[in-house]
């Protein structure tokens, strides 16, 4: 036992009224602690009843007395956590109870490794706050190989720093026994490192939980239903948390989606699974249902919209309200028309909906296009197609049309 970690225990004569056998058991335990050697389960030979009794002269039976060296060590650890890791004093004090730095050399190497791999000071602070024992890890033999592995499959320094800061647990897992086996399974399904990195960015738990626990049973269940491999890849790549649910819960959700009329052969089937997976998404789904009801949609119309584009049921109330207000009150489109093309609710109001609708308003007022133009015609085409059809084509008649599209000129100024 080194001086820096030594703790002394006083066997104070404090309990003269204790039963001898109790004192005997304490003496036995204390001897074991101090000697660090197991003692045989036999009574102490030659210890009298008197010797096993203690007097009440102190406040505790076995009071720890921490050495000054140990106290100084905690102080230096707190100082290091504040000055080198960027923790707040209160946080550093709490973290110092979990990690004791005897010398800063290894910790300095760990911090240098993280900085060299793109971690910002804020990210390093958050990471150490969550997993302070990483400061004691071997940077070259334990941490570096894991970082290099994820870089080798295409994870950027920026993405990897963000993922590991959100949950540093991955750095504590075995590369050979956990990370690589998970990678091999994911590669067998996704066939692409790029898709594996996309899944990792969604949740690091894709590498933390054994794939035999839920992933394999859930994927097998989808295959038995005839879900195309491309749809399984879609779900695993972009929404892996849906496939990582407990198998019983997953089976219940899949059956619920089937009862709603979704076709297992289409991608909307797996998107619907994601939309109602977990308490969070289910709660959002119910809130969206109420918002659409306020805009006059019937239950059947809501379910129709859900079947057309499942993610219209996991939008924020604010996004739905802003889009519906613009479509109905600004553009004059019937509310129920949106239910037939719910994908438009997912588009950006500022970057897509308003610029395009502003152009259509100008053209309509000038009599260059019909007034009852459909949502799909206006909002679904890619930008290049929209510009060619509705902006470039009418540039001579309305020179400011591109400026209207770019938001530099108000409609009122050219009408």
Tens digits of residue pLDDT in 240-254: 999 999 999 999 999
pLDDT at site 151: 97
**pLDDT of res. 46:** 40
| Residue 103 main-chain phi, psi, to 5 deg | -150, 150
Would you tell me how many other CB atoms lie within 10 Å of the CB of residue 254? Answer: 22
Q: Any bridge partners for residue 66, and if so which?
A: 7
The Cα 394–Cα 389 span in angstroms is 8
Burial of 400 (0-12, 13-18, 19+ CB in 10 A): middle
In this predicted structure, what is the pLDDT of residue 163? 97
Q: For residue 248, which of 283, 281, 284, 221 has the smallest C-alpha distance? A: 221
**In the prediction, which pLDDT does 88 show?**
92
Angle ∠(97,98,101) on CA atoms, nearest 5: 90
How far apart, in Å, are the Cα atoms of 374 and each of 20, 147, 371, 377? 93, 50, 9, 5
- How much is the pTM? 0.75
pLDDT digits (tens, 9 = 90+) for 145-166: 999 999 999 999 999 999 999 9
Between CA 170 and CA 205 the distance in angstroms is 8
pLDDT by residue (tens digit) across 393-409? 999 999 999 999 999 98
What does the pLDDT read at residue 162? Answer: 97
Range list of β-strands (E), 204-313: none
The per-residue pLDDT for 103 is: 81
pLDDT tens-digit profile of 302-335? 999 999 999 999 999 999 999 999 999 999 899 9
Please spell the DSSP secondary structure of 102-142, one letter per residue: S-SHHHHHHHHHHHHTT--HHHHHHHHHH-GGGGGS-IIII
Residue 87 exposed, middle or buried by CB count within 10 Å (0-12, 13-18, 19+): buried
Do 219 and 236 contact (CB within 8 A), yes or no?
yes
Q: At residue 9, what are phi and psi to the nearest 5 degrees?
A: -120, 125
HSE-CB of 322 using CA atoms within 13 angstroms: 12
Average pLDDT across the chain, whole number? 85
How far are the Cα atoms of 123, 166, 337 from residue 126, in angstroms, in the given order? Answer: 5, 8, 47
Residue by residue, pLDDT tens for the chain (415 residues) are 444 333 323 333 334 344 433 443 443 444 433 344 444 444 433 444 334 333 334 433 344 434 444 667 778 899 999 999 999 999 999 999 999 888 889 999 999 999 999 999 999 999 999 999 999 999 999 999 999 999 999 999 999 999 999 999 999 999 999 999 999 999 999 999 999 999 999 999 999 988 999 999 999 999 999 999 999 999 999 999 999 999 999 999 999 999 999 999 999 999 999 999 988 999 999 999 999 999 999 999 999 999 999 999 999 999 999 999 999 999 989 999 999 999 999 999 999 999 999 999 999 999 999 888 888 999 999 999 999 999 999 999 999 999 999 999 888 877 7
- Sign for the pseudo-dihedral over CA of 354, 355, 356, 359: positive
**Using CA atoms, how far apart are residues 352 and 367, in angstroms rounded to an integer?**
23
- The C-alpha atoms of residue 293 and residue 387 are separated, in whole angstroms, by 35
């Amino acid at each position: 036992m080194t001086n820096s970690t030594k703790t002394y225990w006083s066997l104070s004569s404090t309990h003269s009224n204790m039963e001898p056998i109790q004192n005997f058991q304490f003496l036995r335990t204390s001897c074991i602690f101090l000697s660090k050697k197991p003692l045989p389960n036999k009574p102490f030979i030659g210890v009298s009843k008197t010797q096993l009794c203690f007097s009440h002269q102190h406040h505790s039976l076995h009071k720890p007395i921490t050495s000054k060296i140990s106290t100084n060590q905690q102080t230096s650890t707190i100082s290091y956590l504040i000055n080198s890791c960027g923790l707040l004093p209160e946080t550093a004090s709490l973290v110092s109870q979990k990690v004791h730095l005897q010398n800063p050399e290894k910790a300095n190497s760990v911090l240098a490794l993280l900085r060299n791999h793109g971690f910002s000071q804020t990210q390093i602070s958050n990471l150490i706050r969550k997993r302070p024992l990483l400061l004691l890890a071997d940077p070259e033999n334990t941490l570096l190989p894991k970082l290099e592995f994820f870089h080798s499959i295409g994870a950027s320094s920026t993405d990897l720093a963000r993922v590991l800061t959100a949950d540093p647990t991955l750095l504590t897992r075995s590369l050979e026994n956990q990370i690589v086996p998970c990678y091999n399974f994911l590669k067998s399904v996704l066939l692409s490192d790029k898709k594996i990195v996309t899944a990792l960015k969604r949740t690091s738990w894709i590498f933390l939980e054994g794939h035999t626990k839920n992933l394999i049973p859930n994927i097998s269940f989808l295959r038995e239903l005839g879900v195309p491999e491309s749809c399984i890849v879609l779900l695993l790549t972009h929404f892996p948390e849906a496939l990582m649910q407990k198998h019983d819960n997953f089976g219940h959700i899949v059956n619920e989606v089937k009862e709603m009329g979704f076709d297992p052969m289409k991608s909307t089937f797996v998107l619907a699974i994601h939309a109602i997976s977990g308490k969070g998404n289910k709660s959002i789904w119910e809130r969206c249902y109420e918002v659409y009801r306020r805009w006059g949609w019937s239950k059947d119309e809501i379910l129709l919209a859900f079947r057309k584009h499942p993610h219209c049921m996991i939008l924020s109330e604010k996004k739905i309200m802003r889009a519906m207000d613009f479509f109905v009150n600004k553009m004059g489109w019937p509310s129920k028309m949106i239910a037939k093309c719910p994908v438009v609710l997912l588009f950006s109001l500022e970057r897509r909906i308003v610029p395009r609708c502003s152009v259509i308003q100008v053209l309509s007022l000038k009599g260059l296009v019909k007034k009852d133009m459909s949502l799909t015609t206006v909002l679904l085409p890619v930008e290049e197609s929209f510009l060619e059809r509705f902006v470039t084509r009418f540039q001579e008649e309305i020179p400011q049309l591109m400026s209207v599209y770019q938001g530099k000129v108000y409609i009122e100024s050219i009408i």
